[in-house]
């Protein structure tokens, strides 16, 4: 039992391996990463081999599309905003140089709003199509 919570993050060697002066030991962190990859690979194997686990796969297309578009926009905004704050830390010359990235950040924010409304529209249309297919199976 650990005395404080930080001990749970301590990395300890399970199988000590040293080759050519380089420590290649198998640690408790390596064990948990291996177990996580094995669980994810097993889930993906069973999900793709048994059609009953994911019956249509169309349900996940909405969430993947929405997640990817939101993530891409947020990462782009984070990069530009970080660039603005880095340039602003350089003083007067940096603040002058930060005007263009700041304008790009504002423009990308507007683009994010446009993409959000477009994604809401696509989400609504695809939901209606999927519900129509569920209510009227096999018909055109």
Q: Which helix (H) or strand (E) holds 50?
A: none
Whether 132 shows a pLDDT value over 90: the answer reads: no
Please write the tens of the pLDDT for every residue from 88-119.
888 888 888 888 888 989 999 999 899 889 88
Which is more confident, 25 or 7? 25
Per-domain residue ranges of the chain: 5-49, 59-135
Look up the pTM and report it.
0.48
Structure tokens belonging to residue 46: 């069973």
Please write the tens of the pLDDT for every residue from 32-80.
999 999 999 998 887 777 555 555 555 677 778 778 888 888 898 899 8
- pLDDT of res. 119: 84
- pLDDT of res. 52: 55
Structure tokens belonging to residue 17: 């391996």
Three-state DSSP at 10 gives: coil
- pLDDT of res. 101: 86
* Confidence label for 126 from pLDDT (cuts 50, 70 and 90): confident
- pLDDT of res. 58: 58
């Amino acid at each position: 039992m650990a005395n404080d919570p930080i001990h749970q993050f301590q990395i300890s060697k399970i199988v000590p391996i040293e080759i050519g002066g380089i420590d290649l030991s198998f640690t408790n962190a390596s064990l948990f990463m291996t177990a996580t990859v094995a669980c994810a690979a097993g889930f993906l194997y069973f999900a793709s081999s048994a059609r009953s686990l994911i019956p249509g796969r169309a349900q996940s297309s909405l969430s993947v599309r929405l997640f990817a578009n939101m993530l891409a926009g947020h990462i782009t905004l984070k990069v530009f905003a970080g660039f603005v704050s880095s340039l602003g830390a350089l003083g007067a010359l940096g603040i002058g140089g930060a005007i263009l990235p700041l304008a790009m950040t504002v423009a990308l924010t507007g683009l994010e709003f446009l993409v959000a409304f477009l994604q809401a529209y696509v989400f609504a249309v695809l939901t209606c199509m999927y519900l129509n297919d569920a209510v009227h199976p096999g018909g055109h």
